[in-house]
Amino acid sequence: MQHDTHDAHERQHSHHADHSGRPGHAGHVDHSSHVGHAGHRPGTVGWAMAARATLHCLTGCAIGEILGMVIGTAFGWGNMATMVLAIVLAFFFGYSLTLRSVVKAGVDLRTALRVAFAADTLSIAVMELIDNGVIALWPGAMDATLADTLFWGALVLSLAVAFVVTTPVNKWMIGRGKGHAVVHRYHH
């Protein structure tokens, strides 16, 4: 079934055979050899693709979250200031990872910024809501210090829960040509 869908997708988009003359598409010759390209059609996105997109967002979020919490805790900031810094840094690093890969694919910075915002905003927002919600609701987690096992345990569990909740969101978005499906267009 997946192979038939992929063949139909290739026929439908056969006019996309050569993009080498378009900006950012040097060397981009053929969609047909890209395994999983049909995954952008509604209902055909696999969980593995959604999990990879979520893992990509989780990496940026985790870097920002950990760095924000370490900075806030080290400077003795209150819970709210530390959480705000962690969230801002999570968005910054989440967008930065996407931006880096899209610019590396030859896309101009302005377009790359639009792609990063389109690809990651909902995913990071859901991840941050879940992640920070778990930490805020976990008894004692907000008052734990860097030396406490509770600090690291709550952080790891909150990121794991955020991954599980955000993966279906990314699957839904990719299936509609949104989210990381936008980034995927630049990675052929």
Q: What is the per-residue pLDDT across 108-117, written as a single tens digit (0 to 9) for each? A: 899 889 888 8
pLDDT of 92? 96
Max mean pLDDT range (10-14, 26-30, 42-46, 118-122): 118-122
d(CA 122, CA 128): 10
**Residue 91: partners with Cβ closer than 8 Å, 6 or more residues away:** 64, 124, 128
pTM value is 0.70
Instruction: Enter the tokens of residue 95.
Output: 């967008």
Domain boundaries, given as residue ranges, for the chain: 1-44, 46-184
Helices (runs of H) and strands (runs of E) counted in the chain: 6, 0
- The total of other beta-carbon atoms located within 10 Å of residue 14's CB is 11
pLDDT of 149? 94
The model's confidence at residue 186, banded by pLDDT at 50, 70 and 90, is: low
pLDDT of 94? 92
